[in-house]
């Protein structure tokens, strides 16, 4: 498989939207900024297939020739992320039917019905044509299929495909009825044709809830599989002509709609688009990078970020001086081998004209943004000889599971505030704040590689999970479980016999009831040490069945009942956190778990700094040290006398990092 030369640095480039004299200027300015790559053809379907029976590659040929001549590494998109107007006009079925049941007309993008035979036929044909024409070009270094797959469709083609998907999964209608518990409200199906997609006209309760989570979760699985099938169909069409070039599609981090662990198995390399808001915590961005790396447990591509501004958030603040650079290093620290922007030249019209780009509307290099891009480009050129393909190592794993994400957020009760990613992030943040590296794991990971596994809100426990977690703990692992865990099976039916169901023996507790607290209500956890903290959201009323209590509720009729526990099991330990505690209370429990598992900061003395280590193929360690706080911070003493790859100078005892400063210490 082809490899990138160093760190790919560039981004979305749409010369087709500009007159040709601008192309020349682009080439000059990209070189100046040390840009070495361009992603082209992302939204050019209408240009390269102007009519149903006609392809026209003349302009794309010129673009690819120019980029090849100038020695750029090309990320070539298949252009199927936006439909051509002629297709929607002739074949209305390619347009989606939305959750409200409305068939859409031509417009926007990312909106093809995944089960439209017309879309399937033409997208596959286009991908094949492109690969046949450009696959042998050595400058084409990566295929970028479609763009940001997402959303869902509820049309008749999808309904038919859903029934087929169900037949394959369940074999019989009896099995479907059982899985979905259709006896409830007498929804029993006697004919496959009676099954309809669960949108707002059917089982949907408002936008986010459903009367039958089993049906709605299966529809999400089906929708994710259907779009994945679109990806695979284009991928295979490319592979028929090009066996050498890695194939990706740009993912969207913790996006709810697609099971990215499943997708990643079909992708050669993961890529994603990072668009934090002005108030997104840096720990949250770090977690998302770790998740994207975790999808394949391998380095990934940053396919898009804005050099400064966005247009689609409610408030699109500028990135402050140094912020883009620091954000880019954070990305590399967590496992990226590329830094790519959306986009290289700012649009002249339509909804993205206020979206930042390397070259602004003024058209010159004399801008703050360009200078920052240029500085980073110069640095990455040097770093490119050591960084790519180095690995991030970790002994802590946090479980992330899309089925569980869907199930937890579909539940009706006990609280509407049970959002999945927020809880994962709270646990992640404990480790982030202490510079303890984390891998994000699928439910079927090899837990044996870790000493500490945290599975927050593991509401859905699927087949095999109990056995895998039990083996992990028996062999000496430390497991952290929380409230809202072990409650349902893969179809959202309750594991009978007492919560947390299959995890009850492991945790050594029985949860008899779950109280829900409104945002203005709180209880208290009084730790054995005497410290106390506020808690809320949900409170498990639990009984010890072998576990020891670490702290008890301070108020209400369950005052004195355990709120957090630790159970010795085999050679390991299981922690059970029965309520949503404020940060320092949770830290109190996680400190003990970290001690049991003997997991530590990557270096000591780095409080307030983010420090991440990547190990290179030849055994060197690269420590990325970043300051995302408003205060100046001292470089940890252990780095004294060592070389900062960015300045080439040795760090001294007085090296200080201001906000957004970065050092990369090589050991």
Contact window for ligand GLA (CB under 6 A) among 45-53, 304-312, 322-330, 368-376: 304-312
193 neighbors 375 (Cβ within 8 angstroms): no
By a kind-dependent CB cut-off of 5 to 8 A, residue 273 interacts, out of ligand GLA, Zn ion, none, with ligand GLA
* Residues 151-180, mask of contacts with Zn ion (x by CB under 5 A): --x-x-xx----------------------
**Strands in 300-437 per DSSP E:** 300-304, 336-341, 396-399
Question: Does residue 341 interact with ligand GLA by CB under 6 A?
Answer: no
**Rounded Cα distance, 48 and 627, in Å:** 46
The count of other CB atoms within 10 Å of the CB of residue 263 is 21
Which C-beta is closer to ligand GLA: that of 15 or that of 397?
15
- Does position 42 interact with Zn ion (CB under 5 A)? The reply is no
As measured in angstroms, the least distance from the Cβ of 148 to ligand GLA is 5
Could you say which residues in the range 391-420 bind ligand GLA, by CB under 6 A? none
Of 221 and 355, the one with the shorter C-beta distance to ligand GLA is 355
| Binding partner selected for residue 342 from Zn ion, ligand GLA, none, CB under the kind-specific 5 to 8 Å limit | ligand GLA
Residues paired with 210 in a beta bridge: 204
Give the number of other CB atoms < 10 A from CB of residue 106.
Answer: 15
* 148 to 177: interface string for ligand GLA, x by CB under 6 A: x-----------------------------
Question: Minimum distance between the CB of residue 228 and Zn ion, rounded to whole angstroms?
Answer: 15
118 near Zn ion (CB under 5 A): no
Phi, psi of 534 (to 5 degrees): -80, 150
**Quick one: which H or E segment has residue 429?**
helix 420-433
Among 82, 113, 127, 295, binds Zn ion (CB under 5 A): 113
The two tokens of residue 486 are: 């072990």
3-state helix, strand, coil in the chain (%, to 5): 35, 20, 45
- Which partner, Zn ion, ligand GLA, none, binds residue 78 by CB below 5 to 8 Å per kind? none
Shortest Cβ 94–Zn ion spacing (Å): 9
Binding ligand GLA by CB under 6 A: which of 93, 234, 273, 337?
273
Q: How far is the CB of 312 from Zn ion (least distance, A)?
A: 25
Q: Binding-site residue total for Zn ion (CB under 5 A)? A: 6
The DSSP annotation for 100-132 comes to TSPBP-S-SSS-B-TT-HHHHHHHHHHHHHHHH
Binding residue count for ligand GLA, defined by CB under 6 A = 10
Q: Are 645 and 655 in contact (CB under 8 A)?
A: no
Choosing from 95, 148, 365, 379, which is the catalytic residue?
148
- The rounded distance, in Å, linking the Cα atoms of 26 and 542 is 65
Nearest residue to 476 (alpha-carbon basis) of 572, 411, 349, 561:
572
Candidate list 86, 189, 275, 522; residue touching ligand GLA; CB under 6 A: 275
Beta strand 509-516 pairing with 532-544: antiparallel
Is 70 a residue of the active site? no
> What are the two backbone dihedrals, phi and then psi, of residue 412, each rounded to the nearest 5 degrees?
-100, 105
What are the angstrom distances between the C-alpha of 281 and each of 63, 141, 286, 343, 617?
A: 39, 33, 9, 24, 31
Q: What is the pattern of x (binds Zn ion, CB under 5 A) and - over residues 72-111?
A: ----------------------------------------
Does 632 qualify as catalytic in the annotation?
no
Q: Does 225 bind ligand GLA (CB under 6 A)?
A: no
- For the chain, how big is the Rg over CA atoms in Å? 26
Binding mask 135-154 for Zn ion (x = CB under 5 A): ------------------x-
The single residue among 304, 401, 489, 644 that binds ligand GLA, judged by CB under 6 A, is: 304
Taken in order 61, 230, 105, 206, is the CA torsion positive or negative? negative
Sequence-separated (6 or more) residues with CB below 8 Å from residue 124? 233, 234, 237
- Which option in Zn ion, ligand GLA, none does residue 662 bind, with CB closer than 5 to 8 A by kind? none
147 near ligand GLA, judged by CB under 6 A: yes
Chain residues binding ligand GLA by CB under 6 A are: 147-148, 273, 275, 304, 310, 312, 342, 352, 355
Chain residues binding Zn ion by CB under 5 A are: 113, 115, 153, 155, 157-158
Active site residues: 148, 304
């Amino acid at each position: 498989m082809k490899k990138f030369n160093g760190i790919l640095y560039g981004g979305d480039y749409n010369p087709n939207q500009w007159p040709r004299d601008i192309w020349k200027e682009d080439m000059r300015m990209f070189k100046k900024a040390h840009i070495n790559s361009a992603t082209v053809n992302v939204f050019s379907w209408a240009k390269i297939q102007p009519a149903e029976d006609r392809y026209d590659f003349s302009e794309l040929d010129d673009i690819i020739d120019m980029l090849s001549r100038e020695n750029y590494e090309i990320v070539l998109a298949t252009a199927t992320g936006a439909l051509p107007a002629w297709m929607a006009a002739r074949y209305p079925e390619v347009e989606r039917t939305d959750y409200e049941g409305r068939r859409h007309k031509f417009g926007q993008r990312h909106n093809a019905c995944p089960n439209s035979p017309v879309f399937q036929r033409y997208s596959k044909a286009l991908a094949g044509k492109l690969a046949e024409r450009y696959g042998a070009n050595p400058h084409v270094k990566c295929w970028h299929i479609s763009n940001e797959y997402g959303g869902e469709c509820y049309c008749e083609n999808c309904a038919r495909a859903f029934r087929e998907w169900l037949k394959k999964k369940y074999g019989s209608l009896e099995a479907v009825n059982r899985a979905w518990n259709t006896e409830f409200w007498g929804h029993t199906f006697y004919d496959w044709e009676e099954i309809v997609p669960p949108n707002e006209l059917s089982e949907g309760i408002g936008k986010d809830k459903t009367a039958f989570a089993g049906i709605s979760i299966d529809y999400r699985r089906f929708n994710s599989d259907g779009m994945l099938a679109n990806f695979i169909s284009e991928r295979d069409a490319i592979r028929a002509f090009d066996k050498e070039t890695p194939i990706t599609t740009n993912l969207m981090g913790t996006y709810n709609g697609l099971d990215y662990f499943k997708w990643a198995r079909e992708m050669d390399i993961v890529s994603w688009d990072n668009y934090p808001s002005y108030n997104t915590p840096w720990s949250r961005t770090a977690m998302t990078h770790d998740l994207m790396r975790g999808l394949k447990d391998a380095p990934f591509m940053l396919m898009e970020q804005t050099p400064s501004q966005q247009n689609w958030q409610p408030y699109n603040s500028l990135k402050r001086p140094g912020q883009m650079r620091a954000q880019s290093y954070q990305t590399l620290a967590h496992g990226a081998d590329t830094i790519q922007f959306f986009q290289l030249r700012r649009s002249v019209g339509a909804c993205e004209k206020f979206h930042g780009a390397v070259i602004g509307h003024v058209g010159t290099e004399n801008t703050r943004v360009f200078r920052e891009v240029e500085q980073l480009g110069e640095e990455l050129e040097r770093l490119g000889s050591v960084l790519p393909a180095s690995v991030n190592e970790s002994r802590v794993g946090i479980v992330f599971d899309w089925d569980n994400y869907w199930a937890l957020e579909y539940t009706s009760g006990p609280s509407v505030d049970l959002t999945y990613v927020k809880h994962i992030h709270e646990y992640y943040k404990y480790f982030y704040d202490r510079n303890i590296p984390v891998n994000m794991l699928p439910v079927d990971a090899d837990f044996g590689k870790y000493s500490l596994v945290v599975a927050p809100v593991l509401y859905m426990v699927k087949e095999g999970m109990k056995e895998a977690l039990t083996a992990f703990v028996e062999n000496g692992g430390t497991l952290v479980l929380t409230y809202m865990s072990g409650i349902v099976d893969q179809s959202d039916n309750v594991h009978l016999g007492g919560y947390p169901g299959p995890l009850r023996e492991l945790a050594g507790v029985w949860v008899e009831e779950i109280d829900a607290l409104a945002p203005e209500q709180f209880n208290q956890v009084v730790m054995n040490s005497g410290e106390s903290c506020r808690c809320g959201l949900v409170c498990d009323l639990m009984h010890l069945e072998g576990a020891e209590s670490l702290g008890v509720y301070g108020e209400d009729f369950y005052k004195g009942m355990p709120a957090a526990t630790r159970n010795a099991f085999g050679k390991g330990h299981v922690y059970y956190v029965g309520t949503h505690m404020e940060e320092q209370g949770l830290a109190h429990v996680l400190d003990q778990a970290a001690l049991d598992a003997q997991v530590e900061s990557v270096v000591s003395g780095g409080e307030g700094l983010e420090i991440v280590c990547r190990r290179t193929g030849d055994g060197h360690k690269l420590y990325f040290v970043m300051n995302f706080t408003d205060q100046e911070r001292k470089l940890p003493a252990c780095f004294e006398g060592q070389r900062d790859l960015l300045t080439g100078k040795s760090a001294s005892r007085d090296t200080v990092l201001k906000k957004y400063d970065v050092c990369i210490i090589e050991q």
